[in-house]
Structure 1
């Protein structure tokens, strides 16, 4: 019995030493602490445009539509960011209103689903195309966005005057962020049908909404602006005037779109202005419309200032033959797919019948956004 007792004591002691001894196998790193003062990261994309060829590429044998495969390689990129801004360039009222591309757009509601699935959670949906159809299609588009999960806000289209007056303020990492969205113009062949369906910019309207955002305690104010000269990388005087006005009201960030090409990034007082983010998902013809990028912006939650920004170049690919391109047989465009510019090959560009190169487009984009905004991979 004595021997057994001694053995038991030895075993207990050995077990205790084993528990106390540092373990060297399979170490588990401690998770990084998430603090209220961590940075807020924002990714911003330009226009998602449901051209006829994009609708055709998304159409399934069942008759439904699935747009995510056209851009799914970007889902893990989008999901890295707290705020993922996207510009919805056209109406998305659904098939019951008839699906059509340029010049009078209306997409299936699955286009909205695709934008959400790729990662968009902050959306500007009021544009120059908002009155391509009637108010019922605007209502259906607004409803499609209202059904999306995990949205911070979708702003620009309104079902009534009460919707139009609402100022959207939301919390990100214990920081109050306001989001406002306007278009400065409507297409001549799609004039306003009422005074509330889309947020048309005016200084009085914007000033009142910015004041309301501040009243609600917004610490960061983001404004989306549909403006600029189509297909021009030059900022026009009206853009500068409106940007200066918004800067004087104390907004933090202006995200511009509408020209379909990238424009410069500037700072006016404490306001950062991305004059045009260009296009994201689209099948337009000019090289400048399919080579664009994503703005990468970091806010400090203590100062509410932008501390870092860069530009991630992207490429919207499709294919057609030289003969089809010469004839502008737009419905012949196929194999639509979004790529990072770093993953783009000359063979892909050649299949699009574009007389350019990855290096030429990278240099062009860097020249346009300016030396203070580096291109990332």
Structure 2
């Protein structure tokens, strides 16, 4: 019995073991390996592209005597050149109309400035002139037309005063480093001078509906809207209620930056909703030397635009700053602009007082 069981187990195990002649699996040939289709690699994801630029504005350029007698403004501006160069798009408020010598040069109360102020502003890095202010019509329609001819001669973009209906209808849109800016400019009045009935386009006045319509139209076409507004009460260090009302209109329509001028002194900065408001930048170049009229400054603010695969994802306006400046009278005749920190004894207020008053930081001491 034991032998039968043993034999049975032996036969069963033998039948379960692999045969020596059983086929074995062959490794794939090179042709077979190459025929295998591998899954595709995932496509690279687009990276966001961030572009940055700076926008700035200087305050009032008001050429009293003897400023309108200068043959060149090199000496006045030369200390500011590095700071001008650190701003990608710089606006200036040319308050005294540059009608040129043909109309007779003059100061207060009816200004007329030499045309080469435009030449020198261009030379030192100003990219656009804001023309709507209370002295725009000091020499009437002829003064505006001559000033605009000068702008065109020096290829200086301008806003706020216009030579024709077509000129007024042409939106001021510029592109800087891939970021588009739209600029508007208005004044509270023109010192009693009235535009001719057949030329209502000569200067932009602060009118609520016009402001709203202009900003709305630009917002559809640009990344950032900038308003330059001539307003406020002269020599008052704080904004008026009327300024605040206009600022509210600008903020409601979604303009990003508001640069204010006219009071001849600095007034505080405020952010209202998403609108950065500089109520007054003070005088930049003038012969006014009383109280705080010889101090002013340069506003600078950064714009950052993010795109992804060509589509705009975000536009931010950030880092508002201010550089205090002072106009120094040298040798009894020469008026020259300096950063206030370089001439601290030339003003009745310190740089720190100015920064505290405007409520903004100063630019980095390192000039770009």
The whole-number CA distance in structure 2 between the counterparts of 1:97 and 1:138 is 11
* Runs of 5+ unmatched residues, structure 2: 1-47, 307-313
- Using the TM superposition, give the Cα deviation of residue 234 of structure 1 relative to its aligned residue in structure 2, in angstroms: 1.2
Kindly state the Cα deviation for residue 345 of structure 1 after the two structures are TM-superposed.
5.2
1:21-36 mapped onto 2 (5 Å cutoff): none
Aligned residues: 308
Q: Which residue of 2 aligns with 1:169?
A: 173
- Mapping of 1:74-85 within 5 angstroms? 74-85=80-91
Q: Compute the displacement of 1:213 (Å).
A: 1.0
Aligned-pair distance for 1:79?
1.5
Runs of 4+ in 1 over 3 A off after TM superposition: 191-194
Which residue is equivalent to 1:193?
196
SS of equivalent residue, structure 1 residue 37: strand
Measured in 2, the distance between the counterparts of 1:214 and 1:183 equals 21
Q: TM-score, normalised by structure 2?
A: 0.80
CA contact (8 A) 1:50 1:111 kept: no
Partner of 1:336 in structure 2?
A: 335
Q: Once the two structures are superposed, what CA deviation does each residue of 1:23-59 show, in whole Å capped at 9, x if it has no partner?
A: xxxxxxxxxxxx9623111222101111111123x1x
The match for 1:147 is 153
The Cα of 1:233 is off from its aligned counterpart by 1.1
C-alpha contact 1:36 1:173 (8 A) present in aligned 2: no
Structure 2 residue 304 is the aligned partner of structure 1 residue 305: no
In structure 2, the partner of 1:62 is none
**1:193 and 1:364 mapped to 2: Cα distance?**
44
Answer yes or no: is the 8 Å Cα contact 1:261–1:277 preserved in 2: yes
For residue 10 of structure 2, what is the aligned residue in structure 1?
A: none
Alpha-carbon distance in structure 1 between the residues aligned to 2:290 and 2:195:
29
Indicate whether 1:272 and 2:276 are aligned.
yes
Q: Which has the larger radius of gyration?
A: 2
Q: 1:368 aligns with which of 353, 357, 361?
A: 357
Would the aligned equivalents of 1:262 and 1:276 in 2 still touch at CA under 8 Å? Answer: yes
CA distance 1:345–1:205, change in 2 (3 Å): closer
Distance 1:227 1:205 in 2: 16
- Determine the structure 2 residue equivalent to 1:44: 57
Q: Is the 8 A contact 1:85 1:122 kept in 2?
A: yes
Does the residue aligned with 1:96 lie in a helix, a strand or coil? helix
Structure 1, residues 312-356: CA drift from partner, whole Å, max 9, x if none?
A: 111101147xxxxxxxxxxxx51211111121153xx3xxxx7x3
Are the aligned partners of 2:55 and 2:88 in contact in 1 as well (CA < 8 Å)? yes
The equivalent position to 1:209 in structure 2, one of 210, 214, 235, is 214
SS at structure 2 position matched to 1:229: coil
Unaligned runs of 5+ in 1: 1-34, 59-64, 321-332
Structure-1 residue corresponding to 2:116? 110
Would you say the 8 A contact 1:183–1:199 is kept in 2? yes
Tell me the alpha carbon deviations over residues 71-119 of structure 1, each in whole angstroms, 9 at most, x when there is no partner. Answer: 1121222122211111111110110110001111111101111111121
Mapped partners of 1:276, 1:345: distance in 2: 21
Q: Any idea what SS the aligned residue of 2:258 has?
A: strand
Question: Could you say what secondary structure the match of 2:356 adopts?
Answer: helix
Q: Which has the higher strand share?
A: 2
